[in-house]
Structure 1
Amino acid sequence: MNGRTCTFVEGIAMSASQRLTLQQLRRFSPIDFLSSHYLQQLVDSLQYIEHKAGSLILRRGEHALALYFLLEGEVWLGAENRNRHLQAGSPEACRALNENQPQDQDIGARSDVRLFAVERSLLERLLNWSEAASYEVGSLQVDEVAEASDDWLSKLLRSPLFGRLPPAHLHLLLGRFEFIEVAAGASVVRYGEPGEHFYVLKQGRAQVSLPGSDAQEPRQELHSGDFFGEEALVSGAVRGASVTMLTDGVLARLSRELFVELVRPTLIPQISARQLQQLSGHGKKNCLLLDVRLPMEYRLGHPPGSLNLPIGQLRQQAAGLAQDSLYAVLAEGGVRSELAVHLLNQLGFEAYLLSEPSGQPPIAA
């Protein structure tokens, strides 16, 4: 190792028989956040490495393009002659040895060790897609208070998704829907496929299914006026669920291009740092900064006072959020931040994407 930026540390490659299974890989964080579909993509890309006792694995100050996880053996951290060691299989060893960038300490092999490496950019991309796809089902919401006599269009227009559309956009949108007849048993969207359309069920009934779900578990059923598919169009992720027709029916659909042009801007309303400070400074609103990245990312740097609530937990913990507060979601989460804004607004909160830096320097936790 010479201190330059590198892709993988030097070492001895492991044999194919020693490769990790999906179940073994789930012991490591944040890899355990990945759905099975994306976990399989990751396991095929891993690099396996061995180091002899006494060798240096990572040098302080380096910028590594990969994250390194300890599989077997023991390493020292900070200095070889100090009493800080890390044993494979321990709780701390479930995280990467080099989460911080640049590397904040030397790490060496105290015994013969085995590691696996995963490219940071690949893991971040798969985490984004996995979390985005997990919300595909969340968009399939049934308006329980709608009366049976309401038609599909009136139900759709009362939804949070279309309630934000300007009248001009709304009229244009309704004129661009394409209507298609579908037969019972037809597969409308399939798990794992790219999203090409936004759908509204005009007539008939459909069923949502998740991969790996128990056949005995109740399935979510869709009725006239329910919509689905917008999350994949917002995020660029693949479909997170399958939707199959239970009866003959009619679907109204909108292409990805039209959806992005006419609907997407209203899904992700933005607020500037100046607007946020004005609202907060005059006491007009209780404004909170929300960071929806993983705790590992949050610890590496975040604005003071921001609340960390990973998007994977957002739906479950939304009940604990104050309804009268304004939530400014930090843009550092990329697609996850946009999805969080959309989800919060769907759940009845007032949420915006912070379009500019908050004016406060990030801090390391």
Structure 2
Amino acid sequence: MSSSTLSIEQLSSFSPMDFLTPQYRQQLHASLKYVQRPAGTLLLQKGERSLAQYYLLSGKVAVDAGHAKQTFEGGSPQAHMPLNGSQPNPATVKALTDISLFAVEHQLLERLLGWSQEAAYQVNSLGGGMLVEEDDGEDWLARLLGTPLFGRLAPSHLHALLARFEYVEAKAGDNVVSYGEPGEHFYVIKRGRARINLPTAYREQPTQTLECGDFFGEEALVSGSVRSASVTMLEDGELARLHRDDFVELVRPTLIPRISDKELEKIGQQAGRKYLLLDVRLAVEYRLGHLPESFNLPVANLRTHADSLDRATCYVVTPEGGIRSELAVHLLNQLGFDAYLLGEASSAAA
């Protein structure tokens, strides 16, 4: 495979590029940097940080992770995985022959992965599984606070949330949020109905209508990405909105609660309570290395496999998936499960 002729189709055979939507894969393809190095070059040093993620196209390299050593060549199954898929670099990599590689910025890839995931889930997650019948439009707040996500809010945060909501009138036909724009506000429908308008690539998905008490706009604020769908008012109504800074301060910790290793040990010691470590990366990434006792369920399959998950179990998502891990925690909590991101302790955990 020549580094100068890597096509978009060939790029999709590398992990996790197959996870990207066609639009974002094309954007990534345009940003690729190609590198050639002679035999004997030290490419990566274990423990150091790199701005880019590297993939072997041709030649042979030696990979030394400390506990394990291996060699592989361009075109092999191993070469379709990144040489340094996590930070800091998990292994020392040295060129055994003249080699060619391609590189992509870590942060760019993480953003595109997050945006791709949002686009795939937006039709479901915007509604939050909270669609309701039109019976009493005045109880929008009670319905909002009765959801698994907002039911976690501490009383002090709840009072601050109510004080910081802005209320805006919206007319039928108004675009409340538009596809591709930055996320500035989180919205709750206080009165009226709205429709989710998906980008062209997802038009085959059924249209969803948002009603009193439904919320939207949180996905872009969780990941810091742009809007992955538009929302249009179907009739005159009123919206409660929260600015991004207030959302990050008051709500985001609830959407992605964290749990520490010590808090996890306490759960394991409690009679009648159980937890499951969940790795939401692709299966091929999981096979190349994962936390002991973790179970692999790619984030793209979470919603379709939700019925098979035990609601009495606490799901702890491992952090290796980056933005995908955060979105998985958000999605699980949105579906009514008890889920946390493994990492720094959170007052909301346990």
TM-score range, shorter chain: 0.7 to 0.9
Q: 1:39 is matched by which residue type in structure 2?
A: R
2:106 and 2:113 map into 1 onto residues whose CA distance is 11
Go from structure 1 to structure 2 and tell me whether the alpha carbon gap of 1:27 and 1:210 turns closer, same or farther (over 3 Å shift): farther
CA shift at 1:260, angstroms?
Answer: 1.5
Which residue is 1:265 aligned to? 253
2:72 and 2:163 map into 1 onto residues whose CA distance is 66
Deviating more after overlay: 42-51 vs 261-270: 42-51
Answer with 1 or 2: which has the greater Rg: 1
Say if 1:208 and 1:220, in contact at 8 Å, map to a contact too. yes
Go from structure 1 to structure 2 and tell me whether the alpha carbon gap of 1:214 and 1:316 turns closer, same or farther (over 3 Å shift): closer
Residues 78-93 of structure 1 aligned to structure 2 (within 5 Å): 88=75
1:242 and 1:220 map into 2 onto residues whose CA distance is 12
- 1:286 correspondence with 2:309: no
CA shift at 1:23, angstroms?
Answer: 4.3
Picking from 54, 59, 64, the partner of 1:67 is 54
CA shift at 1:315, angstroms?
Answer: 2.0
- 1:44 correspondence with 2:44: no
Q: 2:24 is matched by which residue type in structure 1?
A: Y
CA shift at 1:253, angstroms?
Answer: 0.8
2:339 and 2:195 map into 1 onto residues whose CA distance is 30
Which residue is 1:131 aligned to? 117
Which residue is 1:143 aligned to? 130
Pairwise CA RMSD: 3.5
- 1:199 correspondence with 2:187: yes
Picking from 215, 227, 233, the partner of 1:245 is 233
Say if 1:135 and 1:240, in contact at 8 Å, map to a contact too. no
Q: Secondary structure at the match of 2:238?
A: strand
Q: Secondary structure at the match of 1:160?
A: coil
1:49 and 1:265 map into 2 onto residues whose CA distance is 40
Deviations 1:12-35 (A, max 9, x none): 984xxx463x44533332112123
CA shift at 1:244, angstroms?
Answer: 1.5
CA shift at 1:192, angstroms?
Answer: 2.0
Say if 2:185 and 2:243, in contact at 8 Å, map to a contact too. yes
Deviations 1:82-106 (A, max 9, x none): xx98675x86665457768435675
Say if 2:40 and 2:94, in contact at 8 Å, map to a contact too. no
- 1:25 correspondence with 2:11: yes
Q: 1:162 is matched by which residue type in structure 2?
A: F
2:84 and 2:329 map into 1 onto residues whose CA distance is 31
Which residue is 1:308 aligned to? 296
CA shift at 1:217, angstroms?
Answer: 5.2
Which residue is 2:222 aligned to? 234
Picking from 273, 294, 308, the partner of 1:320 is 308
2:291 and 2:309 map into 1 onto residues whose CA distance is 19
Q: Secondary structure at the match of 2:324?
A: helix
Q: Structure 1 unaligned runs (5+)?
A: 1-11, 79-83, 358-365
Q: Secondary structure at the match of 1:315?
A: coil
Say if 1:133 and 1:237, in contact at 8 Å, map to a contact too. no
Deviating more after overlay: 167-176 vs 189-198: 167-176
Q: 1:312 is matched by which residue type in structure 2?
A: A
Deviating more after overlay: 33-42 vs 221-230: 33-42
2:290 and 2:126 map into 1 onto residues whose CA distance is 29
Q: 1:33 is matched by which residue type in structure 2?
A: F
Question: How many residues end up aligned between the 2 structures?
Answer: 328
Picking from 95, 103, 109, the partner of 1:117 is 103
Which residue is 1:333 aligned to? 321
Which residue is 1:189 aligned to? 177
Go from structure 1 to structure 2 and tell me whether the alpha carbon gap of 1:49 and 1:329 turns closer, same or farther (over 3 Å shift): closer
CA shift at 1:208, angstroms?
Answer: 0.9
Which residue is 1:175 aligned to? 163
Go from structure 1 to structure 2 and tell me whether the alpha carbon gap of 1:87 and 1:223 turns closer, same or farther (over 3 Å shift): same
Query: Share of identical aligned residues, percent?
Result: 52
The alignment's TM-score, normalised by the length of structure 1, stands at 0.75
Deviations 1:220-251 (A, max 9, x none): 11112211011211221221211122222222
1:75 and 1:226 map into 2 onto residues whose CA distance is 54
Deviations 1:35-93 (A, max 9, x none): 34432331221124679xxx7497687567442253xxx75566xxxxx98675x8666
Which residue is 1:254 aligned to? 242
Go from structure 1 to structure 2 and tell me whether the alpha carbon gap of 1:339 and 1:68 turns closer, same or farther (over 3 Å shift): closer
Q: Secondary structure at the match of 1:261?
A: helix
Q: 1:102 is matched by which residue type in structure 2?
A: A
Deviating more after overlay: 165-174 vs 125-134: 125-134
2:115 and 2:310 map into 1 onto residues whose CA distance is 28
